[in-house]
């Protein structure tokens, strides 16, 4: 996979992430700031580092599984390594302007 293909796949992954929503908040997980990092290598391996709004989040099991599964469906993805971290802990400042506007925080 060359640099253009990697960039294209990265953009597709972000589009997928923008279609996954936290069930308690009407904003997608990308704009919510739950995705800390997305890396794609030349072999199609994808590394995602994400967090949850809280360690005891009701979707702590299902949301990461959904992210991993939906990225795995993309053509060119050979493997998805998903890591959950709480460092740094999520807070509202991590949300995009769009998310804050959507939630009436601006």
At CB < 8 A and 24+ separation, what contacts does 86-89 make?
Answer: 86/51, 86/52, 86/55, 89/51
pTM, two decimal places:
0.92
Instruction: Report the pLDDT value the prediction gives residue 4, as an integer from 0 to 100.
Output: 95
Q: Quick one: which H or E segment has residue 14?
A: helix 3-17
Q: Would you kindly state where each structural domain of the chain is located, as residue ranges?
A: 3-96
Q: What is the pLDDT of residues 26-40, one digit of tens each?
A: 899 999 999 999 999
Name the pLDDT band for 14 (thresholds 50, 70, 90): very high
Determine whether domain 3-96 maps to CATH 3.40.50.1100: no
Q: What is the pLDDT of residues 45-88, one digit of tens each?
A: 999 999 998 888 788 889 999 999 999 999 999 999 999 999 99
End-to-end CA distance of the chain: 41
């Amino acid at each position: 996979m060359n640099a253009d293909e990697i960039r294209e796949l990265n953009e597709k992954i972000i589009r997928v992430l923008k279609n996954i929503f936290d069930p308690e908040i009407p904003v997608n997980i990308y704009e919510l700031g739950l995705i800390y990092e997305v890396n794609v290598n030349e072999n199609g391996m994808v590394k995602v580092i994400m967090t949850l709004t809280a360690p005891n989040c009701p979707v702590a099991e299902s949301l990461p599984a959904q992210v991993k599964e939906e990225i795995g469906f993309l053509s060119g993805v050979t493997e998805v390594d998903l890591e959950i971290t709480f460092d740094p802990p999520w807070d509202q400042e991590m949300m995009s302007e769009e998310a804050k506007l959507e939630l009436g925080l601006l």
